[in-house]
């Protein structure tokens, strides 16, 4: 059972209380964007075997969307953070680096 802490209400919740929302930090393209940009936004995914950033919603709690940093190979959780950001905070990156020196995910490392 995956357990995440909601960064808004502070509740540590089982995954049955949460709803997964797919890959985090997608760049949302709109009118005027090209086919490649739409393809990347709508379909192409990182899908890494290892460090991954995701969106989750505290569906049966406060209802807020937040982000989580996880390892898809070990199911280890590195941290959760609020969704009002375009990149993971320093402490989450530090927690990942402690476990996976030299990691990278899209433009983050």
**CB of 34: closest distance to other proteins in angstroms?**
10
Residue 72 CA to residue 87 CA, distance in Å, equals 19
**CB of 94: closest distance to other proteins in angstroms?**
22
77 backbone dihedrals φ, ψ, rounded to 5° = -105, 125
Q: Which residue reads 């709109």 in tokens? A: 30
Residue 107 CA to residue 30 CA, distance in Å, equals 21
**Interface with other proteins by CB under 8 A: which residues?**
1-2, 15-16, 19-20, 22-23, 35-36, 39, 42-49, 52, 54, 70, 72-75
**CB of 50: closest distance to other proteins in angstroms?**
8
Helix (H, G, I), strand (E, B) or coil at 101: coil
Nearest residue (CB) to other proteins, 48 versus 89 = 48
């Amino acid at each position: 059972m995956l357990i995440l802490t909601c960064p808004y209400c502070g509740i540590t919740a089982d995954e049955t209380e949460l709803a997964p929302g797919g890959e985090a930090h997608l760049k949302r393209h709109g009118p005027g964007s090209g086919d490649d940009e739409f393809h990347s936004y709508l379909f192409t995914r990182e899908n890494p075997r290892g460090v991954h950033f995701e969106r989750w919603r505290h569906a049966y709690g406060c209802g807020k969307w937040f982000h989580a940093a996880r390892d898809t190979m070990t199911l280890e959780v590195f941290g959760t953070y609020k969704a009002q950001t375009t990149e993971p905070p320093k402490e989450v990156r530090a927690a990942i680096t402690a476990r996976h020196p030299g990691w990278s995910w899209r433009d983050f490392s």
